[in-house]
Structure 1
Amino acid sequence: MPTNPATVPRTLTGLRWPVEPAQGGWYTAAEHEAVREMLAACDDWRTGWKNTAPVADFEEAFATHTGANYAVTFNSGGTALEMVLRHLDLQPGDEVVSCAINFVGPHLAVIGQGGRLVLTEPDPVTLNLDPADAERVLSERTRAILLTHWNGAVADIRPFLDLAHNHPHPVHGPPVVIVDAARACGGRTPTGAPVGAEGWATVFSFESKKLMTTFGQGGMVTTQDRALAENLRRLRTYGGRTQWGVNQMLSAMQAAVGIVQLERLDEMNTARIARAHERTAHLAEIEQLTLPPTVHDQTHLYYRHNLLVPEAWAGSGRDALMETLAAEHKVGSIVNDPVTYLSHDLIRAHTTGQHCPRAEQLAARLLCPCLHPRMSEHDEAAICGAIRQATATVAETYDAS
């Protein structure tokens, strides 16, 4: 199994479909009109871009949409998570538990804020954090459980709230549950609650590839905790004259566009879900591929459409399929995501001695061919045909052996 798995095909020249879409949420005339109105409102030397009303309106609308008491904007989801962790004032030895299959950002945030990152295994179906394995590593040093709604598959928060309640820290009480919803904005948990309503803090990203975007960057934290919300507002504005802080504000223009994107979020997510379900149906007869679970009620938003090759193909067979898709069919794909301690040197050094064999095996089987709801029906049919043909080509080698 490779120790440093490739995240994209090695053959990138001449791709007809990229390894992943560069834009998730898309803009309409409504967003363009919001930009024109905000430009006119701020293009005055007396006021400039200091208008904070759109930011407050965006936060209020987002809190209402998610069922949270508070919503606090940031200039990115990454800085938002950093500040949530900073609020915990992690001390040497304080542990934060997170799934080994993940984007590197959350794990780097834990390390950057002084926590000890403790990695655990994913659920074999959703690849979200496995509650049973999380319980295995909880200790009296655990300060937080960092749960990711991985690739849009919305996790059930309740088991982790129960784990936290049953394993209190001797000083700080139950560990907090922090939810990374960068890829699940607009989803619903299995309880029917909007993503952002459950857990101590939920972090959203509005980066370009995300389900909604505010000019390619932006973030939000939702919480029911007033003290956290108030401190986050200080941290993003130079400490509010009383403590350390830095400028991490979202701009008025971004907020104005965010309000429109939020109004259209369900529409965009519905289109994405429909396209993902269509692809799953079109690929259902390929016996070598494990397809993502087909669920409804916005409990899976399909930020990526994950495929798993057979265990016997793990690593080299998966890479061969990605290469065949790229070289012979011009279809890009990505491993979204590899195990972080295998793909990032700092995380590897920080987690020396930790080993998640299930995560490594699943990640070595994983690929995500390009999918977007705005692809034409012709493009989607071509990609499904390419996946079918490329899988058959690779099967001639790996199934025969």
Structure 2
Amino acid sequence: MAVDTSTVPDVAPELLRWPIEPQQGGWYTAAEHAALARVIEESDDWRTGWRQAAYLVRFEEAFAAYCGAGHAAGFNSGGTALEMVLRALELEAGDEVVSCAVNFVGPHVAVVGQGGRLVLAEPDPTTLGLDPADTEQRLTARTRAILLTHWNGAVADVARFVELAARCPHPVHGPPKVIVDAARACGGRTPSGARVGAEGWATVFSFESKKLMTTLGQGGMVTTRDPALDERLRLLRGYGGLGESWGTNQMLSKAQAAVGLVQLGRLDEMNAARIARAHARTRALADVAELTLPPTWEEGRHLYYRHNLLVPNAWAGAGRDELMHVLAERYGVGSIISDPVTPHSKTLIRRHTAGQDVPRAERLAARLLCPVFHPRISDADEAAICDAIRRAVADVARTHPTI
């Protein structure tokens, strides 16, 4: 996934000691390298080739079992997987999909691309994930789905949105489907204790390079308890099968599935390291009065895909931008705004949602920045990054008072 350059400071990359964000999330060990070598060796036989069926089935079954879901279907990316879930809804003109305004653009582009009317909703002020109270206000008789994102690894209460949907049925299709974007929360747990992927109509995962587990840079998965949806997705990703159904080629490769099996076996270990590092950073910055830190949740409720910070209201916009520049220019620390309100990042979304009002999202996004974060940053570098954040905040406070 390319970085949206509108969300990063205008600083020469060579000035950054630490980049704006890591380009690899889940890391590889000798086990992943060995799995890949085995697949390459056996696939070199012309009788065998790269036919992926056996490996893909094993990966899907293991992933479904890990999540506690009935079914799992692999795709070549999380983006295409979400598009096919939305396609399975068979959206008609005027059908609405409600989603949080603070988000990566991909899910919202998918809604527009599949013919839905995207309805922006406000974020929760603590997690910046979808606010259930505001969502309820935006549901109508035309709502077909609630697209819920576990934003930056903070796991949302999926069951609460399922209950909300049940109270607001569509007159033809019944309760809106709860579709979960878990691209940044693979391996987490919801407040009910269920694994991410076990609740909702469909949960979409990404194994892109920066994600918590990765399959050679791309890949995705959809989990569901609905066997009809699972069957439809398998037809959609494989040219529609032998019948009259439309489909295309969106298969996960043999090599990706083999590496994915190893990554899945190590996912809890990698997530534990990420959580420990995030909690340590939060403790290190706890006395910086100007910063609002992410919630500290245990039991996999927050996987800290990024360690996001909020600056004071008085710094919104210009002050936040100055902090990002000071971090980069004076201290060599890269940071990113993850994520802006999506109409600001994509003209297509801005045109599609013209007239929609999300003032809370605007205010929160103007205060947001995410300094570089990864569990494999060395202890010495992590200490230096935290010290740089502290110093940069003090620098900005001299020119941007908070009162």
Question: Which TM-score applies when normalising by structure 2?
Answer: 0.98
**2:50 equivalent in structure 1:** 49
C-alpha displacement of 1:400? 7.2
C-alpha displacement of 1:301? 0.1
Percent sequence identity over matched residues? 70
**1:136 equivalent in structure 2:** 137
**2:178 equivalent in structure 1:** 177
Partner deviation per Cα, 1:320-363 (whole Å, 9 max, x = no partner): 00000000000000000000011110000000100100000000
For residue 96 of structure 1, what is the amino acid of its counterpart?
V
**Is there any run of 5+ residues in structure 1 with no aligned partner, and where?**
none
**2:282 equivalent in structure 1:** 280
- State the alpha-carbon separation in 2 of the partners of residues 49 and 198 from structure 1: 34
Partner deviation per Cα, 1:208-241 (whole Å, 9 max, x = no partner): 0000000000000000000000010000000112
Name the SS for the 1:367 alignment partner: strand
C-alpha displacement of 1:5? 9.7
C-alpha displacement of 1:158? 1.8
Of 301, 304, 310, which aligns to 2:306?
304
Q: Give the stretch that moved more between structures: 362-371 or 235-244.
A: 235-244
**Is there any run of 5+ residues in structure 2 with no aligned partner, and where?**
none
**1:11 equivalent in structure 2:** 11
Name the SS for the 2:366 alignment partner: helix
Q: Is the 8 A contact 1:12 1:326 kept in 2?
A: no
Partner deviation per Cα, 1:285-308 (whole Å, 9 max, x = no partner): 000000001110000000000000
**1:252 equivalent in structure 2:** 254
**2:209 equivalent in structure 1:** 208
- State the alpha-carbon separation in 2 of the partners of residues 51 and 239 from structure 1: 18
Name the SS for the 1:240 alignment partner: coil
- State the alpha-carbon separation in 1 of the partners of residues 153 and 179 from structure 2: 16
C-alpha displacement of 1:77? 0.1
Q: 1:230/1:400 Cα in 2 relative to 1: closer, same or farther (>3 Å)?
A: closer
**1:32 equivalent in structure 2:** 33
- State the alpha-carbon separation in 2 of the partners of residues 162 and 264 from structure 1: 33
C-alpha displacement of 1:163? 1.2
Q: Is the 8 A contact 1:49 1:252 kept in 2?
A: yes
- State the alpha-carbon separation in 1 of the partners of residues 210 and 113 from structure 2: 24
For residue 318 of structure 1, what is the amino acid of its counterpart?
R
Q: Is the 8 A contact 2:155 2:185 kept in 1?
A: yes
For residue 154 of structure 1, what is the amino acid of its counterpart?
V
Q: Is the 8 A contact 1:5 1:364 kept in 2?
A: no
1:2-401 to structure 2, matched below 5 A, reads 6-13=6-13, 14-242=15-243, 243-399=245-401
Report the count of equivalent residues: 398
Name the SS for the 1:96 alignment partner: strand
Structure 1 runs of 4+ aligned residues shifted over 3 Å read: none
Q: Give the stretch that moved more between structures: 34-43 or 316-325.
A: 34-43
- State the alpha-carbon separation in 2 of the partners of residues 51 and 82 from structure 1: 22
Partner deviation per Cα, 1:73-126 (whole Å, 9 max, x = no partner): 000000000000000000000000000000000000000000000000000000
Q: CA RMSD in A?
A: 1.1
- State the alpha-carbon separation in 2 of the partners of residues 12 and 194 from structure 1: 41
C-alpha displacement of 1:6? 3.5
Q: Is the 8 A contact 2:7 2:337 kept in 1?
A: yes
For residue 220 of structure 2, what is the amino acid of its counterpart?
G
- State the alpha-carbon separation in 1 of the partners of residues 12 and 68 from structure 2: 43
For residue 228 of structure 1, what is the amino acid of its counterpart?
L
For residue 392 of structure 1, what is the amino acid of its counterpart?
A
C-alpha displacement of 1:265? 0.1
Question: Which TM-score applies when normalising by structure 1?
Answer: 0.98
For residue 370 of structure 2, what is the amino acid of its counterpart?
C
For residue 239 of structure 1, what is the amino acid of its counterpart?
G
- State the alpha-carbon separation in 1 of the partners of residues 230 and 52 from structure 2: 21
